[in-house]
Amino acid sequence: MTDPNNLSRVDRHSKRRNNRIQLIVLIVLAILCVVLLISLIFKKDSSTNDGNENDPTTENIATETNDKEQKTNEKDSTDENKDDKKDNETDDEEKDKEEAKEGIMKKEDYPTDITKEEMFTTDGNVEEAFVADWPPIGTNQTGTHTVNFDNESEDRKEIKKAISYVTDLKEDDMIEHWVGNGGDQKVIATVSNNDQSIAYKVYLQWEIDKGWKPTKVEKLKSLNIEQ
């Protein structure tokens, strides 16, 4: 005859084993759920990133941004060129204003169709001499005038210009051998080109607020600075 106590122990043992199996199964299922959830999250993130990389809207935004930057750079470059051009025009205008302010006539504006009258001379070193009604060249100086013979004075600069205007000598190809007093507000100058192959004696007179006016020009046969 079976012992009831023995059956009860067997049942209890079997029940505990079943409970352990169920617990293990639940743990395994929970782990699987967690793994599955993590996999789904990573897959979603990956899909989102791929979608952004291939999203035409994103590409369009990037393209539009680059286009705007390029247009901005081009506009800045154009503006700089306009500013440079404006500065150059301003410099030219300022230069013209300064020249106009100075009042000295430009050589190209000085009349060349003035009638010259040849003069007879007994000076054996004079090849030809002539007078004309040349206009004063203009001046920077105003008011009472006293001739300043210093090399860098306004008078010397303006005298040199006046001589260049009535001869075939350029200012940068001219040697002033002698510039001296020719009377009240008058000057006599002996000049030549740099190689001294051409020489002149020029007579000038000062006109108040109008500048130096050439009155006579003598072309010399040879350079002679004795006055």
Nearest Cα residue to 190 out of 150, 147, 153, 219: 219
Length of the chain: 227
Nearest Cα residue to 35 out of 47, 27, 45, 46: 27
Q: Residue 1: is its pLDDT beyond 70?
A: no
| Rg of the chain taking only CA atoms, in angstroms | 53
Residue 87 φ then ψ, to 5° = -65, -40
Range in 102-111, 199-208, 215-224 the model is least confident about: 102-111
In angstroms, the CA 120 to CA 18 distance is 151
In angstroms, the CA 172 to CA 174 distance is 6
Of 93 and 107, the one with more pLDDT: 107
> Are residues 218 and 201 in contact, defined by beta-carbon separation less than 8 angstroms?
yes
Q: What is the DSSP letter of 223?
A: -
Q: Residue 24: is its pLDDT beyond 70?
A: yes
Whole-model pTM? Answer: 0.56
> Are residues 158 and 148 in contact, defined by beta-carbon separation less than 8 angstroms?
no
In angstroms, the CA 127 to CA 148 distance is 30
Of 66 and 176, the one with more pLDDT: 176
Q: Which tens digit of pLDDT belongs to each residue from 119-174?
A: 999 999 999 999 999 999 999 999 999 999 999 999 999 999 999 999 989 999 99
Q: CA dihedral in degrees (173, 123, 135, 170; nearest 10)?
A: -10
Q: Which tens digit of pLDDT belongs to each residue from 46-100?
A: 665 555 555 555 455 555 666 666 766 666 666 666 666 666 666 655 544 454 4
In angstroms, the CA 102 to CA 138 distance is 8
Q: Which residue has the tokens 């000062």?
A: 206
